[in-house]
Structure 1
């Protein structure tokens, strides 16, 4: 029976750890970007919004690094079973995080053009609370991935319904503002776009949680993902 060279195993473990370290760093960047973007909206801080837009380059670079290193790891080490699932889950999680970074950038870009108005003053706090929930989901999803924690992964997945409900409540409120005055239509549409991007960040956190569940169990969750988004629009 062939025995694995312990030096090769050690090098492989180091490569895996480096890959996960890159992912955690990337996760920290996108969580911070999302919160900074909605805080810029609430404070109408254009300079802060500009920093979020500029910072997306670092997120993209990390995503490219993870994909490249993961592909190299597969080619050189030929991992199998759980190790292969970990590499693939990390690659997919990096893709999800990159998209969250794009959503944060979208929020920041819209913040730069939206004017202070009644809809903004009334709803910026609600959008911030949505972002806080999405950021926590992202953090826990990554933790579930690192720990191979199926229970935490399913908990994150269940929270997506709560985030959807927050989004739908916000949409209905914005619709009321649009009905009250034509002057509210433009700002309300901007806010809807922003809220949709935050809601999509939660969807990507859920995708990472599903990868964590797959890593822990070898299967995807049996039940379809629940969605209560009754006001969908492209974002």
Structure 2
């Protein structure tokens, strides 16, 4: 069952339960740096997922489960901002959030491009393509703001530009890259490679800030895959510098 595999299979390191369990163990290992309130909501999240009835999930609980997973994730992020000192611990937590958001944006867009190419190659109606882009925006919690920004015109060019290059949208790639650059500059301890890391983050952010859709329109999927590899490279540089 695909739904069960994605949600509860501990042998799948990308399942929701595996990720929440790993997050809890990571939090436990640095428990002394976290607030009691943050630890409690992380712990509560783990027990919610771990104790959820799989039979109920497979028959009637999918909506309930996914809504609550989203809610728990949002609560944790709010407690990170509300209950911690804005010190290096907070900075590294926020770096992780923004890097993950960058990869999420690119993976979702790449997946949708594949789906839309299948529809196009099989001569499906344009309305189905519009539906795919509408779904993408809703997944990214950006549907209403995109309609407002583009006066209701939902199409591939607008969605791609909005999610990659709009610095006013907290769900956009360029916004999160700007945040990564800013966070790196706030670390209290200096390393020799700090300037290189900050330069790489700023360079990556600038490349998307001034991106024109026409530049990538004919090569969209390879562009997204290449961008994802650059995000992973930035992540690896941060990990190598500060965690090894």
* Global fold match (TM > 0.5): no
Q: Say which structure is richer in helix.
A: 1
Q: TM-score, normalised by structure 2?
A: 0.31
Indicate the structure whose relative CO is greater, using CA pairs within 8 Å and at least 6 residues apart: 1
Q: TM-score, normalised by structure 1?
A: 0.32
